[in-house]
Amino acid sequence: MAATDRLTDLAKGAFATWTDTLSAFRPALPSSEDARGLLDTGFSAAEKVLAVQRDFAKGVLDAGVQVVEKVQTTK
């Protein structure tokens, strides 16, 4: 058997062992109802994060406007 064939067999064996080991830790697939719930939960969380970011950005913009207005009135 050539060295490359032995290396290929070794790699295949290692990959098979690795996938078998990981499959033992794989959680069961969710039902379609659970998947829809997870989807809704994920998007709800993203909406909340986006709302917080929007409020933060508005606050930064308002602070910048105040600074510009103050600079313009002191000239």
Alpha helices by DSSP H, the chain: 3-25, 32-73
| C-alpha distances out from residue 28 to 37, 42, 61, Å | 16, 19, 47
Other C-beta atoms closer than 10 Å to the C-beta of 75 total: 4
pLDDT of residue 46: 96
Q: CA dist 48 to 13, 22, 35, 41, 61, Å?
A: 46, 34, 20, 11, 20
1-17 pLDDT tens trace: 687 888 888 889 998 88
Q: Where are the domains of the chain?
A: 3-73
Q: What is the mean pLDDT of the chain?
A: 89
Residue pair 30/38 in contact by the 8 Å Cβ criterion: yes
pTM of the model as a whole: 0.52
Mean pLDDT for 58-64 is: 96
